[in-house]
């Protein structure tokens, strides 16, 4: 392993620049349009909500979640999943909601 030695002033400057970059990224992320319009497949929704495909089918049938069908596959808007999480219709919690937001934020910046 190589060791790199820098003086305290250079270290402070490096930390300052990293903090500025992090601040810029956070500010930019807030300005991006919400990923609520992103489409999720059945597997993703079940994973985020921590439910089975049968439970998801019950939510569809009861009208608790909106969906679209393309080529016999169901797709859901991330915003609908978020609403379910916030209403606590499923057993999900705040941690799962944050995970959903973070995963989609990363996925739509490519």
Name the helix (H) or strand (E) containing 74. Answer: strand 73-77
Report how many domains make up the chain: 1
Among 13, 78, 16, residue whose Cα is nearest residue 48 = 78
In terms of residue numbers, what domain contains 65?
36-107
Q: Whole-structure pTM over 0.85, yes or no?
A: no
| 21 occurs within a structural domain | no
CA 70 to chain centre: 23
> Which percentage of the chain shows pLDDT scores above 70?
73
CA distances to 30, 64, 79, 91 from 87, in Å = 23, 10, 12, 10
What's the CATH number where 49 sits? 1.10.1660
Task: Give the pLDDT confidence of 5-33 residue by residue, as tens digits.
Answer: 889 999 999 999 999 988 887 776 665 54
| 58 occurs within a structural domain | yes
pLDDT of residue 103: 67
| 87 occurs within a structural domain | yes
| 22 occurs within a structural domain | no
Q: Coil, helix or strand for 91?
A: coil
């Amino acid at each position: 392993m190589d060791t790199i030695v820098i003086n305290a002033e250079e270290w402070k400057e490096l930390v300052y620049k990293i903090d500025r970059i992090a601040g810029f990224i956070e500010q930019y992320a807030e300005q991006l349009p919400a990923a609520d319009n992103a489409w999720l497949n059945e597997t993703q929704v079940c994973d985020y909500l921590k439910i089975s495909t049968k439970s998801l089918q019950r939510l569809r049938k009861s009208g608790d979640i909106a969906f679209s069908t393309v080529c016999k596959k169901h797709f859901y808007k991330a915003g609908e999943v978020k609403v379910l999480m916030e209403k606590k219709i499923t057993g999900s919690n705040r941690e799962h909601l944050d995970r959903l937001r973070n995963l989609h934020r990363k996925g739509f910046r490519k």
